[in-house]
Structure 1
Amino acid sequence: MADKHARPDSSPDTSAPAVTRTMHGKILLVGIDNPPVNALGVEVRRGLLAAIEAADADANVAAVLIVGAGRNFIAGADIREFGKPPLPPALPDVCNRIEACKKPVVAAIHGAALGGGLEIALAAHYRLAVASAKLGLPEVQLGLMPGAGGTQRAPRLIGAAAALDLMLSGRHASGTEAAKLGLVDRLAQSDDILAEGLAYTQELLASHASVRPTRAANALADRDASRAAIDAARKDTERKSRGLFSPLKIVEAAEAALDLPFDQGLALERKLFLQCLDSPQRAGLIHAFFAEREVAKAPETRSASPREIARVGVVGGGTMGAGIAVAVLDSGLPVTMIERDDEALARGRAHVERVYDGLVAKGRMSADAKAAVLARFDGSTSYDALASADLVIEAVFEDMAVKKAVFAELDRVCKPGAVLATNTSYLDIDEIAASTSRASDVIGLHFFSPANIMKLLEIVVPAKVSADVVATAFELAKKLRKVPVRAGVCDGFIGNRILAVYRTAADYLMEDGASPYQIDSAIRQFGYPMGPYQVVDLAGGDIGWAARKRRAPTRNPKARYVEIADRLCERGWFGQKTQRGFYLYPEGARTGTPDPEVEAIIDAERKRAGITPRTFTDEDIVRRLMAIIINEGANIVREGIALRPLDVDMTLLYGYGFPRYRGGPMKYADTVGLAAILADLRAFEKEDALFWKPSPLLVELVERGADFASLNQQ
Structure 2
Amino acid sequence: MRMQGKTQEQVTQETRGGVCLLWIDNPPVNALGAELRRALSDALTRANADRAIRSIVILAKGRSFPAGADISEFGKPPQAPLLPDLCRQVECSAKPVVAALHGTALGGGLELALAAHARIALSDSQLGLPEVTLGILPGAGGTQRLPRLIGAEQSLRLMLTGRPIAAAEALAMGILDKVVEADLTEAAVTLAMHLFGETPVQTADRRDGMRDAKAYFAAIAAARRAETGAELPGPGRIIDCVEAAQLLPFEQGLAFERAAFAELVVTPEAEALRHVFFAERRARQMVGAKAKPRDVAQVTVVGHGADAVALCKDLLRADYDVTLLERDAEALTKGLEAVAVSLAAEVKSGKLSQGAHDALWERLFPGLPGDDGDAADMVFLTGAYRLPGADVPSVSAAAGAVIVTMGRVGEGGARGVGLVLMPATRNGRLAEVLISPQTLPEAVATLLAVLKRLRRAVIQGQGTGVNAGLSAVFQAALQALEATHGAEAVLALLGRWGMLRDKDRQADGAAAPTGPQDLFGGLAAPVLGALANAGLRMIGEERALRPSDIDLAFIRGHGFARHGGGPMFWAARRGLIVLRDDLTRWADDAPDIWTPAPLLDDLIRQGISLRDLDEA
Q: Is residue 312 of structure 1 aligned with residue 286 of structure 2?
A: no
Contact 2:132 2:161 in 1 (8 A): yes
| Alignment correspondent of 1:292 | 280
Q: Is residue 44 of structure 1 aligned with residue 17 of structure 2?
A: no
Q: Is residue 499 of structure 1 aligned with residue 471 of structure 2?
A: yes
Cα gap change, 1:679/1:452 in structure 2, threshold over 3 Å: closer, same or farther?
A: closer
Deviates more, 1:229-238 or 1:166-175: 229-238
2:227 alignment partner, SS class: helix
CA-CA distance at 1:60 after TM superposition: 3.7
1:392 alignment partner, SS class: strand
Alignment counterpart, residue 665 of structure 1, candidates 567, 573, 576:
567
Cα distance in 2 for partners of 1:452, 1:281 equals: 17
| Alignment correspondent of 1:552 | none
Deviates more, 1:333-342 or 1:419-428: 419-428
1:619 alignment partner, SS class: coil
| Alignment correspondent of 2:493 | 522
Could you tell me which amino acid in structure 2 is paired with residue 662 of structure 1?
A: G
CA-CA distance at 1:509 after TM superposition: 1.8
Cα distance in 1 for partners of 2:381, 2:493 equals: 37
Cα distance in 2 for partners of 1:21, 1:705 equals: 47
Contact 1:430 1:463 in 2 (8 A): no
CA-CA distance at 1:427 after TM superposition: 7.9
User: For 1:62-110, what per-residue CA distance to the aligned partner results, in whole angstroms no more than 9, with x for missing partners?
Assistant: 3222222222222222356455422211111111121122332211111
Contact 2:392 2:412 in 1 (8 A): no
Q: Is residue 23 of structure 1 aligned with residue 12 of structure 2?
A: no
Could you tell me which amino acid in structure 2 is paired with residue 520 of structure 1?
A: L
Q: Is residue 489 of structure 1 aligned with residue 476 of structure 2?
A: no
Q: Is residue 237 of structure 1 aligned with residue 227 of structure 2?
A: yes
CA-CA distance at 1:624 after TM superposition: 1.4
Q: Sequence identity of aligned pairs in percent? A: 34
Contact 2:31 2:68 in 1 (8 A): yes
CA-CA distance at 1:311 after TM superposition: 1.1
| Alignment correspondent of 1:696 | 598
| Alignment correspondent of 2:399 | 426
TM-score normalised over the length of structure 2: 0.88
Alignment counterpart, residue 283 of structure 1, candidates 252, 271, 276:
271
Contact 2:302 2:308 in 1 (8 A): yes
| Alignment correspondent of 1:445 | 419
| Alignment correspondent of 1:217 | 207
RMSD: 3.5
Residue correspondence of structure 1 range 381-460 to structure 2 within 5 A = 384=371, 386-395=373-382, 397=384, 403-404=385-386, 407-408=387-388, 424-426=397-399, 438-450=412-424, 454-460=428-434
2:594 alignment partner, SS class: coil
| Alignment correspondent of 2:318 | 331
Q: Is residue 53 of structure 1 aligned with residue 45 of structure 2?
A: yes
Could you tell me which amino acid in structure 1 is paired with residue 160 of structure 2?
A: L
Cα gap change, 1:221/1:521 in structure 2, threshold over 3 Å: closer, same or farther?
A: farther
Cα distance in 2 for partners of 1:351, 1:378 equals: 16
Cα distance in 2 for partners of 1:355, 1:423 equals: 32
Unpaired runs of 5+ in structure 2?
514-518
| Alignment correspondent of 1:163 | 155
User: For 1:616-639, what per-residue CA distance to the aligned partner results, in whole angstroms no more than 9, with x for missing partners?
Assistant: x99341111111111111111111
Contact 1:455 1:483 in 2 (8 A): yes
Residue correspondence of structure 1 range 267-666 to structure 2 within 5 A = 267-301=255-289, 305-338=292-325, 340-352=331-343, 354-355=345-346, 361=350, 368=355, 371-380=358-367, 384=371, 386-395=373-382, 397=384, 403-404=385-386, 407-408=387-388, 424-426=397-399, 438-450=412-424, 454-462=428-436, 465-490=439-464, 493-514=465-486, 516-525=487-496, 528-531=497-500, 534=501, 537=503, 582-583=507-508, 619-666=521-568
Contact 1:457 1:484 in 2 (8 A): yes
CA-CA distance at 1:391 after TM superposition: 0.8
CA-CA distance at 1:39 after TM superposition: 2.1
1:351 alignment partner, SS class: helix
Deviates more, 1:678-687 or 1:701-710: 701-710
1:299 alignment partner, SS class: coil
Cα gap change, 1:145/1:384 in structure 2, threshold over 3 Å: closer, same or farther?
A: same
1:631 alignment partner, SS class: helix
CA-CA distance at 1:204 after TM superposition: 4.1
CA-CA distance at 1:436 after TM superposition: 5.4
Q: Which runs of 4+ in 1 moved over 6 A?
A: 418-423, 427-433
> Higher Cα Rg: structure 1 or 2?
1
CA-CA distance at 1:656 after TM superposition: 0.8
Could you tell me which amino acid in structure 2 is paired with residue 529 of structure 1?
A: G
| Alignment correspondent of 1:599 | none
Residue correspondence of structure 1 range 189-228 to structure 2 within 5 A = 190-205=181-196, 210-215=199-204, 216-228=206-218
Cα distance in 2 for partners of 1:453, 1:326 equals: 20
1:196 alignment partner, SS class: helix
Could you tell me which amino acid in structure 1 is paired with residue 489 of structure 2?
A: Q
CA-CA distance at 1:498 after TM superposition: 1.5
Could you tell me which amino acid in structure 1 is paired with residue 280 of structure 2?
A: E
CA-CA distance at 1:269 after TM superposition: 0.4
Cα gap change, 1:78/1:253 in structure 2, threshold over 3 Å: closer, same or farther?
A: same
1:113 alignment partner, SS class: strand
Cα distance in 1 for partners of 2:426, 2:75 equals: 36
Could you tell me which amino acid in structure 2 is paired with residue 443 of structure 1?
A: V
| Alignment correspondent of 2:516 | none
Could you tell me which amino acid in structure 1 is paired with residue 320 of structure 2?
A: L
Alignment counterpart, residue 55 of structure 2, candidates 32, 52, 63:
63
Cα distance in 2 for partners of 1:249, 1:694 equals: 41
Cα gap change, 1:200/1:326 in structure 2, threshold over 3 Å: closer, same or farther?
A: farther
User: For 1:31-68, what per-residue CA distance to the aligned partner results, in whole angstroms no more than 9, with x for missing partners?
Assistant: 22233322212333223333433444444433222222
Cα distance in 1 for partners of 2:191, 2:480 equals: 69
Cα gap change, 1:347/1:116 in structure 2, threshold over 3 Å: closer, same or farther?
A: same
